Amino acid sequence: MDQFFNDLMRGDPSAICLAAAAYFSIVGLFGGTVTYRIGQWPSVEGVLDRLAVVSAGVSFDASDGQDFVAETAYRYAVDGTEFKGDRLSPWVIIASTNLAFLIKLQIRHVRFTNGNRLLVHFNPNNPAKSYLIVPGPVSTGVLFFGCQMIAGALIYAGI
């Protein structure tokens, strides 16, 4: 193990690839587990107060100068206790002017039940934590298997 860390500190390409592969493997395992668990959360009906695409107030790209995010506010009750939520999804999208349509596509996945009433998915262990959109099996699988494939490619490249 000491030899591996020494190689890594010297910048050996094989050690760097192996360390990156371990990182992606752990991220995929942890991220896949977390998104799977969030996807299993129960839901209640809530009331939508606000759902809009707004300026993020920062820009990561100086060419167009503006980035956008989804902003939401909603209310819901669990076992008679009222909660307020502001999380759209675990997948936070910050998009430039040219890609703001991605946020609008994400918003389409909010499930409305009647008028401004919608489904709110909440953490059963902490009902104050909620999302309007939870990860499904496809996004969980893409995260898990995508990270494992990157890890495998890095191991292959490092050998």
Four-residue CA torsion sign, 142, 23, 91, 70: negative
CA distance 132 to 46: 10
Residue 8 is classified by DSSP as: H
pTM above 0.95, yes or no: no
Domain spans of the chain, in order of start: 22-40+134-159, 42-133
What span, in angstroms and rounded, lies between the C-alpha atoms of 17 and 141?
23
Q: 151, exposed or middle or buried, with CB in 10 Å at 0-12, 13-18, 19+?
A: buried
Please write the tens of the pLDDT for every residue from 57-98: 765 555 556 889 999 999 999 999 999 999 999 988 888 888
Give residue for tokens 């298997």.
145
Q: What is the mean pLDDT of residues 34-43?
A: 94
